[in-house]
Structure 1
Amino acid sequence: MNSPSRKPIVVIAIVTAVCMLGNEMLFIVMPLYWKFFGLTSLWQVGVLLSANRIIRIPINSLVGWCYKRIGKRSGVMAAVILAAASTFSYGMVKGFWLLLIARCLWGISWSFFRIGGYLTVLSSSNAETRGQYVGLYNGLWGLGTLFGMLLGGLLAEIIGIQTVTTLFSIFAVSSIPFIIRFIDNTKETEATPQVKKKKEFTIWKNKRIVSSFVTGLIVAFVVYGVVASTLSKLIEIQMNIVLGLTIGAGTITGLIQALRTGWDPFLAPYLGRVSDQKWGRIPILILALLTAAFCLSLFPLKLPMVLFVALLFLFQLTTTVLITMSDSVAADLAAGPSQITVITFYTLFSDIGAALGPLLGFVMIDVFGIQSLYWLTSCIIVPLAVYWFIIFKKEVRITRLMEGQ
């Protein structure tokens, strides 16, 4: 059987990466040049950089509803237009409230990109290629983070913030012809409202689907929430304890984050392809969860610097595995007539985890310290690994019984 074309996946992933450039640049530029943006306090920077995640929590369901009526191509084009508008606004508008609107526009754009991307992966893959294509999709759009952070800050200093945001918005608009050429405009059809209600009710009765939602939430909470927001603080504390240094933590953090986004386009598809084979995704997911818990439990301890860096490197590899396996499990379960509903809720749960991570993380650091935060995060992961291990054992038992017959 011929494998579906992966061209639409590559196109939507690269278009997403291009449209991300302005958002990722903002994470480097705004904390340094916040007065340029007409801001009066640093707390406004924190709110603006998190607003796009918060808006996605209530908006995801509406975006899923839109995809049922307008199709993938129209949804992705809406995402590009919103991304271009928000990126252009970063350099043109001044003041907290106007920038807050621009950040919310990007949050809505990302919801359209994320759900549209998952749907494209589903329509362009089969059971033998889904994991590989999920990894390919995640790896390619992750390049937007890499180049946005590396080039955005550099270009902002050379040619100015306003010029960079205008340039990035032009790049975004220039991707529209590729969307028209390679992304089809199919949409899910539903027979009657009664069938729709029954289908959504069945989803919540399916323990495996609900488990994938919880897994997406916890993985996003750990990777995009807690670790992404507190890693620089952790490195700063570790450098101060071990080396007596308090400088360079931001540079090291940026380098470590860049490493993952650099290898993701190559490693993530390979991991997905491995998970498409005999043993499937669950054993790899279990191993990644246990490895992540192990690393998180050791991070706050007083460690030799070489061992600490080695653990950071191992954890970054593990996050690639976690994200690829979590997304692939959800894609497997979404394949079928409920794909938009499942993907919408999976994206919603992931966004909740990513939004809760920084909030709860910094509250815990203030009250209990960073050591307690990382140990608690490690403890949250272990029960999830145990749960998936039980699921895997049941599947193996059922398989053996069927083979025995």
Structure 2
Amino acid sequence: MENGVADKKPIVIIALITAVSLLGNEMLFIVMPIYWKFFGLTSLWQIGALLSANRIIRLPINSLVGWCYQNINKRTGLLIAVVIAVISTYSYGVLKGFWLLLAARILWGIAWSFLRLGGYLTVIACSDRKTRGHFMGLYNGLWGLGALFGMLIGGLFTEIVGIQTITTVFAILGVCSIPFVIRYVPNTISGSEMNKQGQQEQHSTIGVNRKKLVAVLLNGLLVAFVVYGIFSSTVSKVVEYQFGDNITFLTYTISVVAVAGVLQSIRMGMDPFLAPFFGKLSDQRFGRIPLLRFALLVGIICLLIIPLKIPFIVFVLVIFIFQIVSTLLITTSDSLAVDLSSDFSSVKTMTYYTLVLDLGSALGPLISYLVINFIGLRWLYWATGILLICLLVFWSREYRQQRVNDNTFYSAS
């Protein structure tokens, strides 16, 4: 790439549009587990179902969205996404009852499919193998600002101004982002862009077999299941489990929702800085897999500690460390997937990848609350730690084998 600044601009624009669209969804992950009766819900399982519904619907929808991006321009795809996101966000504050909210969550799932795939394809179009990790981290870090402010505002202001007021404001912000879509998102068809990119790079890329594709997709599935699914949907529950409805700290009483909102927003606040940094590290001498293995090891330790009865300060520190590790897990996983896209059809590869991400993210909340209902939150986190142990063993064996074969696909070179 000759002009790094120019290449970054489309990534920055689409990431910020995504961040605005994401506000209402992220607020739900903090507010709904605590204020579920406000939404007209009658059972805890409905929380898990609603937090998973938007992801489940993306399983059949992703292929259709991938086809759309091969035949329509990015601007149209993003406009569809933003309009649907505005409708769903506003609905969270005015609709009551499981079935109506389920419809709103399905709408959001369609919007997110357009947003996420559009972002991935933009990163591919604007990067090469030496910059993909950095640009992937930049994209993830910036759209993560939507999660930051959604969770933070939801956690801190729900009791002050009410859920309906917050969702209305978020919807208005979404409407305000539409002129930016029209002005800055390129009016080009992603399929033609990706074909041109693939032709330029096909002589410099390393052939990728099905085993590597399956490995990267499996990794994306499990990372999404743990980070986007289990952890994001149970933070407020784990805080409530540890400390009750309210926490007294330095003579101040803080609500569980506020603490959960702040804890979740810490990671999102760091992402714009950490994600590009981690991505750049994986582009350079460290490589993707060594960083991924390190993140898995630290993440396992954190998951085994989190459900233990520990002091508040220690608890916050462990959560903080796990959130940093989550950023590293996501950045390296996404970068591996983008690496694959230069060897296979870009749209198809990223459609498969978003499909497995959505599957993992969808199963996470649903399984989490089923496990909590039957055997408790502590066993949920310990079982998740064991799952990551299996993933660590897999990547350790895979990396050793690749080094023996002198195959550099999993490195940044």
Superposed pair shares fold, TM > 0.5: yes
Q: 1:217 aligns with which of 206, 221, 238?
A: 221
Q: CA deviation at 1:362?
A: 2.7
- Which digits, 9 at most, give the CA deviation of each residue in 1:66-94, with x for residues without a partner? 11211322211211111122223344555
Please tell me the residue identity of whatever aligns with 2:62.
N
Residue matched to 2:240: 236
Which secondary structure state, in structure 2, belongs to the residue aligned with residue 300 of structure 1? coil
Does 2:325 match 1:314? no
- Tell me if structure 1 keeps the 8 A contact 2:51–2:233: no
Q: CA deviation at 1:162?
A: 5.0
Q: CA deviation at 1:312?
A: 1.9
Residue matched to 1:330: 337
Distance 1:336 1:69, change over 3 A: farther
Q: CA deviation at 1:163?
A: 5.2
Q: CA deviation at 1:263?
A: 0.6
Residue matched to 2:199: none
Alignment identity in percent?
Answer: 53
Greater shift in the superposed pair: 166-175 or 41-50: 41-50
Distance 1:98 1:231, change over 3 A: closer
Does 2:119 match 1:117? yes
Residue matched to 1:200: none
Q: CA deviation at 1:130?
A: 0.8
- Tell me if structure 1 keeps the 8 A contact 2:19–2:145: yes
Does 2:70 match 1:55? no
Q: How does 1:1-12 map to 2 (within 5 A)?
A: 1-4=1-4, 5-12=7-14
Q: 2:373 aligns with which of 350, 362, 366?
A: 366
Greater shift in the superposed pair: 95-104 or 317-326: 95-104
- Tell me if structure 1 keeps the 8 A contact 2:151–2:264: no
Q: 1:97 aligns with which of 91, 99, 123?
A: 99
Q: CA deviation at 1:166?
A: 4.0
- Which digits, 9 at most, give the CA deviation of each residue in 1:242-291, with x for residues without a partner? x9999844433222111101111111111111111023111000110111
Q: Distance in 1 between matches of 2:65 and 2:54?
A: 14
Q: Distance in 2 between matches of 1:225 and 1:40?
A: 20
Q: How does 1:3-402 map to 2 (within 5 A)?
A: 3-4=3-4, 5-28=7-30, 39=40, 41=42, 46-93=48-95, 95-152=97-154, 162=164, 164-184=166-186, 185-189=188-192, 206-239=210-243, 248-399=255-406
Count of aligned residue pairs for this structure pair: 387
Q: Distance in 1 between matches of 2:185 and 2:36?
A: 38
Q: Distance in 1 between matches of 2:281 and 2:41?
A: 51
Distance 1:126 1:205, change over 3 A: closer
Distance 1:97 1:69, change over 3 A: same
Q: Distance in 1 between matches of 2:78 and 2:265?
A: 26
Q: Distance in 2 between matches of 1:31 and 1:361?
A: 12
Distance 1:247 1:28, change over 3 A: same
Q: CA deviation at 1:153?
A: 6.1
- Which digits, 9 at most, give the CA deviation of each residue in 1:351-388, with x for residues without a partner? 11112122222333333333332222112112222222
- Tell me if structure 2 keeps the 8 A contact 1:188–1:337: no
Q: Distance in 1 between matches of 2:124 and 2:216?
A: 16
Which secondary structure state, in structure 1, belongs to the residue aligned with residue 20 of structure 2? helix
Q: Distance in 2 between matches of 1:356 and 1:285?
A: 22
Which secondary structure state, in structure 2, belongs to the residue aligned with residue 128 of structure 1? coil
- Tell me if structure 1 keeps the 8 A contact 2:29–2:51: yes
- Tell me if structure 1 keeps the 8 A contact 2:30–2:236: no
Q: Distance in 2 between matches of 1:239 and 1:156?
A: 20
Q: CA deviation at 1:187?
A: 2.5
Distance 1:161 1:231, change over 3 A: closer
- Tell me if structure 1 keeps the 8 A contact 2:155–2:262: no
Q: Distance in 2 between matches of 1:291 and 1:273?
A: 20
Unaligned runs of 5+ in 1: 192-202
- Tell me if structure 2 keeps the 8 A contact 1:119–1:340: yes
Q: Distance in 1 between matches of 2:335 and 2:385?
A: 23
Distance 1:363 1:23, change over 3 A: closer
